[in-house]
Amino acid sequence: MIQLGYANVGIYMSLFGNLFRKPKTDAVFDVVSPNKRLVLSFLLDRGEISYFVSKDDKIILRKSKLGIALKDAQPLTDHFAVVRTYSRSVDESWTAYWGEQHEIRNNYNELAVYLEEIVRPKRIMTIRFRVFDDGVAFRYEIPAQPEMENMIVEDELTEFSVDTNSKSWSIPAYQPDRYEYNYIERPVFSLTESVHTPLTIQTTSGHFISIHEAALYNYGSMTIKLSNSSLKSDITPLSDGMRAYVELPFSTPWRTIQVAHDALDLTTSRMILNLNEPPKGDFSWVQPTKFLGIWWAMFVGEWTWAPGERHGATTEHAFQYIDYCRRLGITALLIEGWNDGWEGDWLENGINNKFMVATQDFDLDAITNYAHQNGVELVGHHETVGFIDNYEDQLEDAYKFLTQHGIRYVKSGYAGSKMTINGRREFHHSQLGVLHYQRALELAAKYHIMLDVHEPIKGTGIERTWPNLMTREGARGQEYEGGALEPSHACFLPYTRLLSGGMDYTPGIFDIANFSKRLASTLTRQLAYYVTIYSSMQMAADRPQFYADTYPDLFQFIRDVPSRFEQTIPLLGEIGKSYVVARQGWESNDWFIGGVTNEEGRRVQLYLDFLDNGANYVATIYRDSDDAHYRDHQLGYVIEEKVLRRGDKLEVYMAPGGGFAVKLQKQQ
Ligand code: NOJ
């Protein structure tokens, strides 16, 4: 059904495909959301293109420019006339292979505006708008045309004109540690330096919005900064200053603005995934997993990545960890530092990394055989240190090498402040970086390999199309503990970074009071992360003796919690302060609740309205003890059981810097 809410009848007619007889250089087209509350207006004002957005008659974005500036050519921004328009409505559902939501509804009204310059060289461009109940999106589509076969993008002129007195939460862009920064709350008028997206804003009208992009391919990633009193896109440049080199036809990524009444509602928007294409082929082979790792022992200084006396990746350690996997019921094991290239300063020497040569003390064949016999899969590790030329030379053979050893999961890493691509130093988030991540992903799909990418390109929903992109890091994870993380960090993530997709936060550290890497956390908070930070590859990141011997009671939750969910219902929270979410297990009747708080303790009341009517649920509650505290009493916890039903209220205490986890098992 076509649903249109256009005020102007002439324009209304045009939406059914009328051809204009005279060039039309002035027009307004409204595209209205299915529930009619959100409106995007495209404006053509004497040939100049712009748009604005309102919700319930309140302005969200004021008039904001559109357009693209090109090298050696006039910008695509004015002298336009509308040639024709096309509209349609879509209401469909699709089934995810994994994720926070099994069935996803994709419901929007679309308007494509076909533009042509009224002056020479009379270039043509389409802007396609989609308006969902939870946000708006648009992209520029530039067809192949006689006057233009390719484009060098000097700048993208897209603006997002929110009231500059609005409040925002973001991380800085163009920094050496990529996305790995603490979130900063500040007014929009102080965003004079570029920040990464998703950029979360509370507008002066009280709405919560997230500015981001979807389907980022073959283009620099969008950062945002204030320019002439408006937020404007700042596409990550290549080393020559250009933003992208593209052949035509070309479509930019979608520019997205999710709009919600409450910050929690942003967290359930699936608009970014919906703007991506369905999977390219059959991905029924992808499989979410949990995994142990020869990993945290390196962070606490017990073992090393490099060969030597304390080398972590030895045959002996691998056998021990495989035994632990079997004991703990965890079916995958990551081993880092297994290959040639970690000697000396691995960041400097990363160019020597060899992805098919194991170190002498690591018998890959024996280890893979032993793993196989014990029902354990290895997670391979490719630390590229950003030396893309070196990596791409080996990439396909390296994937083949892994598959020959029965390895289907790879954690990749791109440590370092820039990438070396074609001999040039480029931002990870530049067009060349984006192209590399995509090549690696598509090649992985060819070999049925699933990826967990650290130091990645940010999520733009492409895992809908490439479901073997299981998870990413792309924010400060637990490896920053030991000083650089405050409890508020995990309370910012759900409303910022996690809007772009799942994250490998490496949860489940139980040795939180370790003197060399002390965590700003209580024990049960570590369990909460398995629910509050979604990842389809979820690590149990600590050394396994802490699971098997020290806290087997707490480990039970890690064993039980799934790494994909049927549905997700946020229960309460505030940006930077707290987040509590309930998730139903994938094709299961059980529910899991996780909650985290910042430096303040909180007692929360949870209404269990999502449970099935009339059924009893046995709740296992893992919570902070009343005297727990992330600084001086980290280890205090309580495990209790209750029988609960729909309509019951569950009260749980979170200590300062703490958190809780609940498993609700439905009784038959
Ligand atoms: C940084 C990654 O985030 C971490 O997980 C990994 O262990 C190191 N790089 C080494 O590759």
Last residue of a domain, one of 274, 308, 335: 274
Cα-to-chain-centroid distance, residue 403: 27
Residue 9 has pLDDT above 90, yes or no: no
Last residue of a domain, one of 227, 242, 274: 274
Q: Which of 454, 473, 504 to mutate to test the pocket of ligand 1 (most atoms within 8 A of CB)?
A: 454
Question: Has residue 447 been placed in a domain?
Answer: no
Question: Has residue 346 been placed in a domain?
Answer: no
Region of 506 please: left (phi>0), alpha (psi -120 to 50) or beta: left
For ligand 1, atom 7, name the residue with the nearest CA. Answer: 295
Which residues touch 515 (CB under 8 Å, ≥6 apart)? none
Task: Give mean pLDDT, residues 645-660.
Answer: 98
Task: Give mean pLDDT, residues 550-556.
Answer: 98
pLDDT at 7: 31
Distance 302 CA to ligand 1 centre (A): 16
Q: Which of 336, 345, 384 to mutate to test the pocket of ligand 1 (most atoms within 8 A of CB)?
A: 336
The pLDDT tens digits for 594-616 are 999 999 999 999 999 999 999 99
The pLDDT tens digits for 192-210 are 999 999 999 999 999 999 9
Instruction: Ligand 1, residue 455: give the atom nearest the CA.
Output: 3
Map 421-470 to HEC letters: ECCEEECCCCHHHHHHHHHHHHHHHHCCCEEEECCCCCCCCHHHCCCCEE
- Torsions phi, psi for 450 (to 5 deg): -105, 140
Question: Has residue 319 been placed in a domain?
Answer: no
pLDDT confidence bin for 23, thresholds 50/70/90: confident
Answering whether pTM is above 0.85, one says yes
Q: Which tokens hold the place of 268?
A: 């359930």
Residue 4 has pLDDT above 90, yes or no: no
pLDDT confidence bin for 39, thresholds 50/70/90: very high
The CATH number of the domain holding residue 122 is 2.70.98.10
Question: Has residue 12 been placed in a domain?
Answer: yes
Residue 79 has pLDDT above 70, yes or no: yes
Task: Give mean pLDDT, residues 55-64.
Answer: 97
Residue 14 has pLDDT above 60, yes or no: no
Question: Has residue 138 been placed in a domain?
Answer: yes
Place of tokens 């199309």: 465
Which residue did the predictor score with more confidence, 350 or 183? 183
Residue 2 has pLDDT above 80, yes or no: no
Residue 303 has pLDDT above 50, yes or no: yes
Residue 337 has pLDDT above 70, yes or no: yes
For ligand 1, atom 3, name the residue with the nearest CA. Answer: 454
b/e 406-437 (16+ beta carbons within 10 angstroms → b): ebbbbbbbbebebbbbeeeebbbbbbbbbbbb
The pLDDT tens digits for 161-194 are 999 999 999 999 999 999 999 999 999 999 999 9
pLDDT at 280: 86
Question: Has residue 85 been placed in a domain?
Answer: yes
Domain of residue 571: give its range: 478-502+514-535+557-668
Last residue of a domain, one of 256, 274, 292: 274
pLDDT confidence bin for 13, thresholds 50/70/90: very low
For ligand 1, atom 11, name the residue with the nearest CA. Answer: 383
Q: Which of 179, 383, 452 to mutate to test the pocket of ligand 1 (most atoms within 8 A of CB)?
A: 383
Residue 387 has pLDDT above 60, yes or no: yes
Report the catalytic residues: 479
Which residue did the predictor score with more confidence, 9 or 312? 312
The pLDDT tens digits for 408-423 are 999 999 999 999 999 9
Which residues touch 179 (CB under 8 Å, ≥6 apart)? 171, 196, 458, 474, 475, 497
Distance 451 CA to ligand 1 centre (A): 14
Going by C-alpha positions, the residue among 414, 419, 406 that lies closest to residue 367 is 406
pLDDT confidence bin for 21, thresholds 50/70/90: low
What is the DSSP secondary-structure string of 352-379?
A: G--TT-B-TT--HHHHHHHHHHTT-EEE
Distance 478 CA to ligand 1 centre (A): 11
Which residues touch 440 (CB under 8 Å, ≥6 apart)? 391, 395, 412, 451
Instruction: Tell me what the pLDDT averaged over the chain comes to.
Output: 96
Question: Has residue 631 been placed in a domain?
Answer: yes
Q: Report how far residue 237's alpha carbon sits from residue 96's, in angstroms, rounded to the nearest whole number.
A: 34
The CATH number of the domain holding residue 655 is 3.20.20.70
Going by C-alpha positions, the residue among 30, 36, 37, 35 that lies closest to residue 51 is 30
Residues within 6 Å of ligand 1 by CB:
336, 383, 413, 415, 454, 473, 479
What is the DSSP secondary-structure string of 53-66?
A: EEETTEEEEEEEE-
Question: Has residue 281 been placed in a domain?
Answer: no
pLDDT at 178: 98
Residue 399 near residue 449, CB atoms below 8 Å? yes
The domain total for the chain is: 2
Residue 418 near residue 425, CB atoms below 8 Å? yes
Q: Report how far residue 98's alpha carbon sits from residue 464's, in angstroms, rounded to the nearest whole number.
A: 9
The pLDDT tens digits for 115-157 are 999 999 999 999 999 999 999 999 999 999 998 999 999 999 9
Q: Which of 346, 479, 506 to mutate to test the pocket of ligand 1 (most atoms within 8 A of CB)?
A: 479
Distance 146 CA to ligand 1 centre (A): 48
Place of tokens 């896109």: 233
Distance 415 CA to ligand 1 centre (A): 7
Element (H, E) at 9: helix 9-14
Q: Report how far residue 198's alpha carbon sits from residue 575's, in angstroms, rounded to the nearest whole number.
A: 14
The pLDDT tens digits for 625-635 are 999 999 999 99
Distance 338 CA to ligand 1 centre (A): 13
- Torsions phi, psi for 452 (to 5 deg): -125, 105
Distance 283 CA to ligand 1 centre (A): 27
CA-to-CA dists, residue 75 to 3, 152, 430, angstroms? 34, 11, 21
Distance 192 CA to ligand 1 centre (A): 31
For ligand 1, atom 5, name the residue with the nearest CA. Answer: 454
The pLDDT tens digits for 254-302 are 999 999 999 999 999 999 999 999 998 999 999 999 999 999 999 999 9
Instruction: Ligand 1, residue 477: give the atom nearest the CA.
Output: 3
Instruction: Ligand 1, residue 413: give the atom nearest the CA.
Output: 11
Out of 1-5, 384-388, 461-465, 487-491, least confident range: 1-5
Distance 454 CA to ligand 1 centre (A): 7
Residue 224 has pLDDT above 70, yes or no: yes
Instruction: Ligand 1, residue 295: give the atom nearest the CA.
Output: 7
Residue 621 has pLDDT above 90, yes or no: yes
Q: Which tokens hold the place of 171?
A: 């991380």
Residue 312 has pLDDT above 70, yes or no: yes
